[in-house]
Structure 1
Amino acid sequence: MSVLLVACDLKLPDENYSEVRQFLAKFTHCRKLDSVWLIDTKWSPDQMRDGLNALIDRDDAVFVTRLAMNWASSRFGGADWLNDMNRNW
């Protein structure tokens, strides 16, 4: 298991991206920035990207990477979530 950082740049503001939000919300997650999700999952970055690609438009962008325990932030509301002993680093 790992913590993935998922960033989505969804280009069309009028599009209904509720499927993307519902897909990501199924995982243990933290969303404290508009287009960035932290996901605690068994999925690999490739699997997460592929799952999202099925839901987004051709002009949208997705970036997925595995996080490590050595992270830093400033005024980030998800710090407690990341520091939780239940995270699967």
Structure 2
Amino acid sequence: MGTPYMISYDLHAPGQRYSDVKEVIDNFGGAYIKILESTWLVNNNLTPDEMSDRLKVVFDSNDSLFITKISRPYQGLLQEHQWEFIREHIYPNNGF
């Protein structure tokens, strides 16, 4: 079982390679869901450094990135299908 992380970023002009960022996250392995415009929740076996190193390849020098481990409690305004995915794949087997 992996570790839950939040990945948040700002892509500034000129590149804005959103599809490349998604492809890198797709290749992390584990589970992932885009919950906000530039925010993903992931559950995988990589460290923040490993994820950052992979993402830097598709980032421009003026882009921003933040990756952090996440834990309960959490709250927000998301769609029900997003909450279901979070419960089942980001925080599996936790009795919630």
TM-score category (smaller protein): 0.7 to 0.9
RMSD over aligned Cα atoms: 2.2
TM-score (norm 2): 0.77
Distance 2:35 2:23 in 1: 16
What's the counterpart of residue 22 of structure 1?
23
1:62 aligned partner: 65
The answer (yes or no) to whether the contact 1:73–1:79 under 8 Å persists in 2 is no
Q: Does 1:6 align with 2:7?
A: yes
In 1, the alpha carbon distance for the partners of 2:91 and 2:13 equals: 33
Q: How many residues align?
A: 88
Report percent identity of matched pairs. 22
Structure (1 or 2) with the greater helix fraction: 2
Structure 1 window deviating more from structure 2 (53-62 vs 21-30): it is: 21-30
Distance 1:60 1:15 in 2: 9
Amino acid in the other structure paired with 2:63: D
Question: What is the TM-score of this pair, normalised by structure 1?
Answer: 0.82
Letter in 2 for 1:82: I
Shift of residue 17, structure 1, vs aligned partner: 3.4
2:34 aligned residue: 31
Instruction: Mark the CA change 1:68 to 1:10 in structure 2 (over 3 Å): closer, same or farther.
Output: same
Runs of 4+ in 1 over 3 A off after TM superposition: 13-17, 85-89
In structure 2, relative to structure 1, the CA distance for the partners of 1:39 and 1:86 (3 Å cut) is: closer
Give structure 2 stretches of 5+ with no counterpart: none
Q: Which amino acid aligns with 2:35?
A: K
